[in-house]
Amino acid sequence: MARKFTPKVVTANDLIEGDVVYLTDDGTWTRKLSEAALFTIPEEADERLSFAAAQTGRVVGAYLADAEPGETGPVPAHFREAFRATGPSNYFHGKQEAAEQA
């Protein structure tokens, strides 16, 4: 028996900077998970994943990640995605540096 489909976001890594990025409703990329498009229909999620995977000059390693609706947009459904959403873990730079300065 197939597992029930859970909501997904399309995520990848920026090809040049390596940062985690998420596909938005309008087909652009954002570094903020809360701005990502949340897909609840399997066929739509697969279609958007194909769209993302074809952007070989922009992103690498696109895949569907489990997410849940939150008050301000999608939130991670698993630890791995929560960890990826916070940025690099070796020292404060990128998203973590911006959070420190805010």
Q: What is the pLDDT of residues 18-75, one digit of tens each?
A: 899 999 999 999 999 999 999 999 999 999 999 999 999 999 999 999 999 999 999 9
Q: What is the C-alpha to C-alpha distance for residues 21 and 9, in angstroms, rounded to an integer?
A: 10
Give the model's pLDDT for residue 98. Answer: 67
Give the model's pLDDT for residue 32. Answer: 95
Give the model's pLDDT for residue 86. Answer: 78
Give the model's pLDDT for residue 85. Answer: 82
CA 5 to centroid of chain Cα atoms: 17
Paired sense of beta strands 73-76 and 8-14, if any: unpaired
The pLDDT tens digits for 62-100 are 999 999 999 999 999 988 888 788 766 665 556 666 666
